[in-house]
Structure 1
Amino acid sequence: MNLLQIEYSDELKNDIESLKSDLAEIKLNLQPKEPTKYLGRKEVAEMLDVNISTVHNWTARGILTALQIGGRIYYRKKNVEAALIELKK
Protein backbone atom coordinates (compact mmCIF):
# COMPACT_ATOMS: atom_id res chain seq x y z
CA MET A 1 0.00 0.00 0.00
CA ASN A 2 1.38 3.37 -0.91
CA LEU A 3 0.90 6.73 0.80
CA LEU A 4 -1.94 7.75 -1.55
CA GLN A 5 -3.88 4.60 -0.71
CA ILE A 6 -3.46 5.20 3.05
CA GLU A 7 -4.73 8.82 2.77
CA TYR A 8 -7.63 7.67 0.60
CA SER A 9 -8.43 4.91 3.07
CA ASP A 10 -8.46 7.35 6.03
CA GLU A 11 -10.59 9.82 4.08
CA LEU A 12 -13.01 7.06 3.14
CA LYS A 13 -13.24 5.92 6.77
CA ASN A 14 -14.05 9.49 7.88
CA ASP A 15 -16.73 9.80 5.19
CA ILE A 16 -18.28 6.49 6.25
CA GLU A 17 -18.36 7.57 9.90
CA SER A 18 -19.95 10.87 8.91
CA LEU A 19 -22.60 9.05 6.89
CA LYS A 20 -23.32 6.70 9.80
CA SER A 21 -23.84 9.69 12.07
CA ASP A 22 -26.12 11.40 9.54
CA LEU A 23 -28.18 8.23 9.05
CA ALA A 24 -28.58 7.77 12.80
CA GLU A 25 -29.88 11.34 13.12
CA ILE A 26 -32.29 10.85 10.21
CA LYS A 27 -33.54 7.60 11.72
CA LEU A 28 -34.13 9.34 15.06
CA ASN A 29 -36.14 12.09 13.35
CA LEU A 30 -38.27 9.52 11.52
CA GLN A 31 -39.44 7.90 14.75
CA PRO A 32 -43.17 8.47 15.23
CA LYS A 33 -43.86 11.23 17.70
CA GLU A 34 -46.06 10.48 20.67
CA PRO A 35 -49.33 12.37 20.31
CA THR A 36 -49.97 15.17 22.77
CA LYS A 37 -52.12 13.97 25.66
CA TYR A 38 -54.58 16.53 27.03
CA LEU A 39 -56.10 16.26 30.51
CA GLY A 40 -59.13 17.94 32.02
CA ARG A 41 -59.03 19.58 35.45
CA LYS A 42 -60.50 16.51 37.11
CA GLU A 43 -57.90 14.25 35.49
CA VAL A 44 -55.07 16.54 36.60
CA ALA A 45 -56.46 16.59 40.13
CA GLU A 46 -56.64 12.78 40.17
CA MET A 47 -53.17 12.48 38.67
CA LEU A 48 -51.65 14.70 41.36
CA ASP A 49 -53.98 13.46 44.11
CA VAL A 50 -55.24 16.96 44.93
CA ASN A 51 -58.58 18.75 44.89
CA ILE A 52 -59.84 20.51 41.74
CA SER A 53 -59.65 23.83 43.61
CA THR A 54 -55.91 23.23 44.11
CA VAL A 55 -55.51 22.74 40.35
CA HIS A 56 -57.39 26.02 39.83
CA ASN A 57 -55.17 27.83 42.37
CA TRP A 58 -51.97 26.47 40.79
CA THR A 59 -53.21 27.61 37.40
CA ALA A 60 -54.02 31.10 38.72
CA ARG A 61 -50.52 31.31 40.28
CA GLY A 62 -48.86 30.20 37.04
CA ILE A 63 -47.61 26.87 38.38
CA LEU A 64 -49.72 25.01 35.81
CA THR A 65 -50.44 26.26 32.30
CA ALA A 66 -54.00 25.78 31.09
CA LEU A 67 -55.38 25.73 27.57
CA GLN A 68 -58.95 26.64 26.70
CA ILE A 69 -61.30 25.76 23.89
CA GLY A 70 -64.83 27.00 24.23
CA GLY A 71 -65.70 26.72 27.91
CA ARG A 72 -63.38 23.76 28.51
CA ILE A 73 -60.02 23.87 30.25
CA TYR A 74 -57.26 21.41 29.38
CA TYR A 75 -53.67 20.78 30.40
CA ARG A 76 -50.91 19.13 28.41
CA LYS A 77 -49.85 16.05 30.35
CA LYS A 78 -46.15 16.69 29.65
CA ASN A 79 -46.49 20.24 31.05
CA VAL A 80 -48.15 18.98 34.22
CA GLU A 81 -45.34 16.45 34.69
CA ALA A 82 -42.75 19.16 33.96
CA ALA A 83 -44.25 21.37 36.70
CA LEU A 84 -43.23 18.81 39.31
CA ILE A 85 -39.96 19.79 40.95
CA GLU A 86 -37.49 17.17 42.09
CA LEU A 87 -36.50 17.62 45.71
CA LYS A 88 -32.82 17.58 46.60
CA LYS A 89 -31.67 15.49 49.52
Structure 2
Amino acid sequence: MNQIQFIGTTPQQLRNDINNDVKTQIDELKKCFQPKNPEELLSRSETAELLKINLSTLYLWTKKRKLKSYGLSGKVYYKRSEVESALIALND
Protein backbone atom coordinates (compact mmCIF):
# COMPACT_ATOMS: atom_id res chain seq x y z
CA MET A 1 0.00 0.00 0.00
CA ASN A 2 1.32 3.43 -0.92
CA GLN A 3 2.10 6.00 1.72
CA ILE A 4 0.19 9.22 1.14
CA GLN A 5 1.53 12.48 2.51
CA PHE A 6 -1.13 15.14 3.04
CA ILE A 7 1.19 18.09 3.58
CA GLY A 8 1.56 19.97 0.32
CA THR A 9 -1.02 17.78 -1.44
CA THR A 10 -3.92 19.44 -3.19
CA PRO A 11 -7.43 18.02 -2.84
CA GLN A 12 -7.32 17.05 -6.54
CA GLN A 13 -4.02 15.17 -6.09
CA LEU A 14 -5.48 13.36 -3.08
CA ARG A 15 -8.57 12.42 -5.09
CA ASN A 16 -6.41 11.16 -7.95
CA ASP A 17 -4.24 9.09 -5.58
CA ILE A 18 -7.30 7.54 -3.96
CA ASN A 19 -8.89 6.80 -7.34
CA ASN A 20 -5.68 5.20 -8.60
CA ASP A 21 -5.38 3.04 -5.47
CA VAL A 22 -9.02 1.95 -5.75
CA LYS A 23 -8.59 1.10 -9.46
CA THR A 24 -5.48 -0.93 -8.63
CA GLN A 25 -7.36 -2.88 -5.97
CA ILE A 26 -10.31 -3.52 -8.31
CA ASP A 27 -7.95 -4.73 -11.05
CA GLU A 28 -6.35 -7.17 -8.58
CA LEU A 29 -9.78 -8.47 -7.55
CA LYS A 30 -10.79 -8.94 -11.18
CA LYS A 31 -7.73 -11.13 -11.76
CA CYS A 32 -8.76 -13.44 -8.92
CA PHE A 33 -12.50 -13.38 -9.51
CA GLN A 34 -13.97 -16.60 -10.83
CA PRO A 35 -17.70 -16.37 -11.50
CA LYS A 36 -19.54 -19.37 -10.16
CA ASN A 37 -21.20 -21.44 -12.83
CA PRO A 38 -24.65 -22.64 -11.87
CA GLU A 39 -24.87 -26.37 -11.25
CA GLU A 40 -26.58 -28.23 -14.09
CA LEU A 41 -29.35 -30.48 -12.84
CA LEU A 42 -30.35 -33.53 -14.86
CA SER A 43 -33.70 -35.29 -14.68
CA ARG A 44 -33.83 -39.04 -14.14
CA SER A 45 -34.32 -39.60 -17.88
CA GLU A 46 -31.44 -37.28 -18.81
CA THR A 47 -29.15 -38.99 -16.30
CA ALA A 48 -30.04 -42.46 -17.54
CA GLU A 49 -29.51 -41.35 -21.14
CA LEU A 50 -26.14 -39.78 -20.27
CA LEU A 51 -25.00 -43.01 -18.62
CA LYS A 52 -26.61 -45.24 -21.29
CA ILE A 53 -28.55 -47.18 -18.65
CA ASN A 54 -32.25 -47.74 -18.01
CA LEU A 55 -34.25 -46.08 -15.24
CA SER A 56 -34.34 -49.22 -13.08
CA THR A 57 -30.52 -49.36 -13.07
CA LEU A 58 -30.41 -45.66 -12.19
CA TYR A 59 -32.80 -46.33 -9.31
CA LEU A 60 -30.60 -49.19 -8.04
CA TRP A 61 -27.42 -47.13 -8.29
CA THR A 62 -29.11 -44.33 -6.38
CA LYS A 63 -30.38 -46.75 -3.74
CA LYS A 64 -26.86 -48.23 -3.38
CA ARG A 65 -25.52 -44.65 -3.09
CA LYS A 66 -23.37 -44.89 -6.19
CA LEU A 67 -25.15 -41.71 -7.28
CA LYS A 68 -26.68 -38.99 -5.14
CA SER A 69 -30.11 -37.67 -6.06
CA TYR A 70 -31.85 -34.44 -5.10
CA GLY A 71 -35.55 -33.81 -4.80
CA LEU A 72 -37.41 -30.68 -5.77
CA SER A 73 -41.20 -30.37 -5.91
CA GLY A 74 -41.63 -34.14 -5.99
CA LYS A 75 -39.16 -34.63 -8.84
CA VAL A 76 -35.74 -36.27 -8.70
CA TYR A 77 -32.63 -34.64 -10.11
CA TYR A 78 -28.92 -35.40 -10.32
CA LYS A 79 -26.04 -32.93 -10.47
CA ARG A 80 -24.16 -33.38 -13.75
CA SER A 81 -20.79 -32.76 -12.07
CA GLU A 82 -21.46 -35.50 -9.51
CA VAL A 83 -22.63 -37.96 -12.17
CA GLU A 84 -19.51 -37.32 -14.21
CA SER A 85 -17.22 -37.60 -11.19
CA ALA A 86 -18.82 -40.94 -10.25
CA LEU A 87 -17.49 -42.47 -13.47
CA ILE A 88 -14.39 -44.59 -12.96
CA ALA A 89 -11.62 -44.81 -15.54
CA LEU A 90 -10.81 -48.39 -16.50
CA ASN A 91 -7.28 -49.42 -17.39
CA ASP A 92 -7.06 -51.48 -20.57
Q: TM-score, normalised by structure 1?
A: 0.66
Give the aligned partner of residue 64 of structure 1: 67
- In the alignment, the residues of structure 2 paired with residue 70 and residue 31 of structure 1 have an alpha-carbon distance, to the nearest angstrom, of 31
Give the aligned partner of residue 82 of structure 2: 79
* Equivalent of residue 40 in structure 2, options 37, 41, 49: 37
Q: TM-score, normalised by structure 2?
A: 0.64
Deviations 1:30-88 (A, max 9, x none): 12222100001000011011101111110000000000112100000000001101112
Q: What is the count of residue pairs matched by the alignment?
A: 65
- The answer for unaligned runs of 5 or more in structure 2 is 1-27
- In the alignment, the residues of structure 1 paired with residue 64 and residue 30 of structure 2 have an alpha-carbon distance, to the nearest angstrom, of 41
More helix by share: 1
Superposed CA RMSD: 1.7
Moved over 3 A (4+): none
Percent sequence identity over matched residues?
40
- The answer for unaligned runs of 5 or more in structure 1 is 1-22
- In the alignment, the residues of structure 1 paired with residue 51 and residue 65 of structure 2 have an alpha-carbon distance, to the nearest angstrom, of 16
Looking at CA atoms only, which structure, 1 or 2, has the larger radius of gyration?
Answer: 2
